[in-house]
């Protein structure tokens, strides 16, 4: 079900902790980008923020950026971070296809794709976050040897992503078609993941390197 726009909440976003302006020129002055010895990790499609907030809390020496195109959804995540703001967490509302304008030149060590929209119709393939065009954007963002981590409940999207990564020359490994039977203690569960687990659906996961 589509979330109704929260216009008052969206109006608050610019003044909320960690929310940064979607302007490449001013973005590059962010202190998180100037700390060259501090790793940067990005979640594309950060949704309501459970994953990225948990990661930033668990890894205080890493700078995390939650990318969410829908401002109303990003407001929900930013509100969760408002009471005790994490200094190593930023939120940015921008289309993923434009991320090279912000992080280009190999600024990030890792990208997370958690339960991305599979866009199952063939005509919508360019919108998929693992299309050939998007994988080229990720190469611009990631450091040499940078890491991409993907989780999904959609087997067809998992298979498509695996095929595209191999076709585009990525190194792929650490694959599973049932994450929660593999006893990965490092896994942080997202809000979507909880829903799928209640339904008994398997979770597909892979990692790839540039």
Of 182 and 89, the one with more pLDDT: 89
Give Cα separations from 11 to 15, 42, 72, 143 (angstroms): 9, 24, 10, 35
Does residue 117 carry a catalytic annotation?
A: yes
Which residue of the set 23, 117, 159, 184 is catalytic? Answer: 117
SS3 169: coil
Question: Is the pLDDT at 139 greater than 90, yes or no?
Answer: yes
- What is the dihedral sign for C-alpha 82, 86, 87, 91? negative
Q: How many helices (H) and strands (E) does the chain have?
A: 9, 7
Residue 185 tokens read as 């203690």
The listed range with the strongest mean pLDDT (5-14, 31-40, 127-136) is 127-136
Alpha-carbon span 66 to 78, nearest angstrom: 10
Tens of pLDDT, residue by residue over 63-121, are 999 999 999 999 999 999 998 999 999 999 999 999 999 999 999 999 999 999 999 99
Question: Is the pLDDT at 1 greater than 60, yes or no?
Answer: no
| Yes or no: domain 129-210 corresponds to CATH 3.40.50.620 | no
The pTM for the full model equals 0.93
Task: List CB contacts of 200: < 8 A, sequence separation 6 or more.
Answer: none
Of 29 and 34, the one with more pLDDT: 29
- Percent of the chain beyond pLDDT 90? 79
Give Cα separations from 42 to 49, 142, 174, 201, 205 (angstroms): 12, 10, 19, 26, 17
Domain ranges of the chain: 129-210
């Amino acid at each position: 079900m589509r979330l109704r726009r929260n216009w008052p909440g969206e109006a608050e976003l610019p003044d909320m902790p960690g929310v940064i302006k979607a302007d490449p020129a001013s973005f590059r002055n962010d202190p998180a980008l100037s700390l060259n010895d501090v790793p940067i990790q990005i979640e594309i499609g950060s949704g309501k923020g459970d994953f990225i907030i948990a990661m930033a809390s668990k890894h205080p020496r890493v700078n995390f950026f939650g990318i969410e195109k829908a401002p109303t959804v990003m407001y929900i995540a930013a509100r969760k971070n408002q009471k005790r703001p994490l200094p190593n967490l930023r939120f940015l509302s921008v289309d993923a296809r434009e991320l090279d304008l912000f992080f280009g030149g190999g600024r990030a060590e890792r990208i997370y794709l958690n339960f991305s929209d599979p866009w199952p119709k063939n005509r919508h393939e360019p919108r998929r976050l693992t299309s050939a065009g998007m994988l080229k954007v990720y190469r611009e963002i990631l450091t040499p040897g940078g890491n991409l981590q993907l989780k999904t409940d959609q087997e067809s999207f998992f298979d498509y992503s695996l095929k595209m990564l191999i076709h585009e020359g990525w190194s792929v490994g650490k694959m599973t078609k049932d994450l929660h039977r593999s006893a990965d203690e490092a896994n942080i569960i997202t809000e979507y993941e909880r829903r799928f687990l209640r339904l008994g659906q398997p979770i597909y996961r892979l990692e790839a390197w540039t």
